[in-house]
Structure 1
Amino acid sequence: FISMATCGIPDELLRNDELIKELEAIAKDSALLHGVLMRTKESPNSSEVVSYAPFALFPSPVPRGLFHQALNMATLFNRLIDRVSQSPRFLEEALASTIKVDDFTAKLFSIYRQVQQEPRDMAIVLGLNRSDYMIHHVDGEEALKQIEINTIAASFGGLSSRTPSVHRHILKVANRLEESRQILDNNPAAGLAQGLAKAWELYGSERAVVMFLVEDIQRNIYDHRYVENELWARNIRVIRREFEDVIRTGSLDQNKKLFVDGQEIAVVYFRNGYMPNNYKSEQSWEARLMMERSCAVKCPDISTHLVGTKKVQQELARPGVLESFFPDEPEAVTQIRATFTGLYTLDMGVEGDQNIAMVLAKPDQYVLKPQREGGGNNIYGEEICDVLERLKNSTERTAYILMDKIQARPTYNYLCRKGHPLTLKPCLSELGVFGTYI
């Protein structure tokens, strides 16, 4: 979804069935021409037959001021993530209740504790994150509200680098030249690659490679390839390996240099490892620990991965917490806090009990979020009541957090998806802003 500074697509354009049919065919061809691609469900590991990735026929409008606010927030959130990741005491306290009931977070935290006990010879940290926002509408006012920060395997930096060309072309064909000019250039792939390249350079070995740690099923490979190709253009070697490859051929030498298939690894870029089912066996966890113990630059390292958990997001919203990370920067605290919506603990005790009573009274005003990445895990409406009624007296409830439901205003658009008829639908958009830091 690409940002515009307009009020939306005019109704007379959306309702012009003959033109929409023409634009649909042109848009799909344009997506293929510009490389907005995915492998198919039928052949997820083959590039013999590919299709366009799902996309909106028209770009999604974002108010200009809020768009630039989101861009300006990237540096502040980079600094916040970095500072939180280097605060063992905060992470211990923030995740204390979660690791008792959530096995996945507990295993990540076990690796974190082991790594913390070892001397850290390599001081290079690379963060490639994506902060996701929606536009909150209340009492006639619009505000930018953060949904989450993705600190591991933040995707679509590649495909979103190619989407502006598709939308510009569609608007030109629709005789909307002024709107087409308002679509900004967008190339996250280059920015992500710049961060990876700098980390490789700081590692200091020209023979070492950047390793993309990838899943065994990879429909979204072209999103990766755009970043890969940016690195190859800089004469930086890239290899793609799975956990099984690291298990089978990975090793550390006496200086904790990481080798996989006999190649020295300068940077491990995790495009895998963010969900429990990514770890097929205990050996996968051992491979993760080996990579974390190595002197290769990790993107992210285990502490930065933990900063992206929902529980840490909720704890950062507590009064006084941001001030502890920005002790002499009240303006930074104000700007960050302005993007927060209400976030509530479900820890055992009076506060958690009160929050459960609050949401059970008005479930449509909240979202129940587990400690999971990858999308599709949130719980809404009456289903919240079902879950909390079942868990309200159990410590299992501490594996979730509560969040105010952002009151976003839908805009009408057509969604182009392989195998689905093109229909006009109300759509809710997120604005994702990538951040890079070393």
Structure 2
Amino acid sequence: MDVSVFGTGYVGLVQAAALADVGHRVLCIDIDEHKIEQLQKAVPPIQEPGLSAMIDDNLRDGRLSFSTQASDAVIHGQLIFITVGTPPDEDGSADLRHVLAVVREIAQHMQDDRTLVIKSTVPVGTAAKVTESAREELKQQGKGHLAIRVVSNPEFFKEGSAVNDCIRPDRIIVGTEDEKAREQLAELYAPFCRSRDKLIFMDNRSAELTKYAANAMLATRISLMNELANLAELVGADIESVRKGIGSDTRIGYHFIYPGCGFGGSCLPKDLRALLHTGSSNGFPMRLLKTVQEVNEDQRQVLFRKLQKHYTAGLVGKSIALWGLAFKPNTDDMREAPSRYLMEALWREGATVRAFDPDAMSECRRLYGYRDDLVLCATRDDTVQDADALVICTEWKAFRVVDFELLARKLRDRLIIDGRNLYSPQQVAAAGLDYVGIGLPYLAPLGGAP
């Protein structure tokens, strides 16, 4: 099929590459000329495993192309995906200006019937607004006889594994009540349903709510586990044992029950705020989700509070090594990352940060620039040179196996605060280090506290 994609951000680029990879002819449009020039060289603007190679392969084979000309995309695509951003407004609601602007532009260039596929994360009722906006524009252009079908097709990609999530989806949600659109989406996604039918058809509003409901459920699991971890510390329990105990229950499972230093990224915090706004605007305060949000906001400070508890005399002049800047592994995304809340709190207290991340160093520099209290190190081991303590914010594989005896020699205060519970407290304590995890009982270092 001939497919056009408006927007070459995270969602649009991954979806376009995956569709091209199964044989569809995909044209991507973006107003950013530099980004398009780079994409034409198979250089994506994001870090995502496997994406660059997939773009390169499909560019070379002619199934994937990039342009800045909206008219070309409207002529090309039987199906036109809308994947532009929906940033949060001050009240937490999703800003639909970019979506509606693209819809009007598509209508201006339409010469035949078209199906619009909304892939952007949008609040309930957006498909109706898009339909109304498109029809108004068509009428103004004297093209009111043309049909425009609007489909809600939310994405469920996880940063760091988005390519795999796209080509091997758990499910494909399609919101439409139009039979022609249903047939088109079934044909489009047929290559992704060979092992089993993953398509779930429903109405537009239900599809729109499904996206927010999924992220709200995940956010709730994370915040609940963090609450239990904080309680475990107070009562002397081991949250890792608790996690294994409840995860073995098939009704619960192990996904998203890992305690940590709070969730971040571009999806869960933003979608939670948008869903809360939807509830509020409909006179329905969502008390549970409000608490989930409050728990997460508080948990973002847990690493700093643990440092404060250890350094009762204050953090002025302290040098803190930090492993992990991205909000999760396999991405360079630092949006609402726990590392940011920790670093900014440390700087306010007069401490210096020595940081390393396998992918997010450039993003950190872009966000914070050059400053005397931020040292970006070439390797993870460089961070602990001349550092007083080590804090782990992101569970990268590169941090899983370490020489604790070396860390005991390097860290002046022999302290590790682990925001992801990567290590065995017994092993760390045996090396003579103070180890503080999330929801773990404290073990004194071998030979007593240093």
TM-score (norm 1): 0.33
Q: Which gives a bigger RCO, structure 1 or 2 (Cα 8 Å, sep 6+)? A: 1
Structure with greater proportional strand content = 1
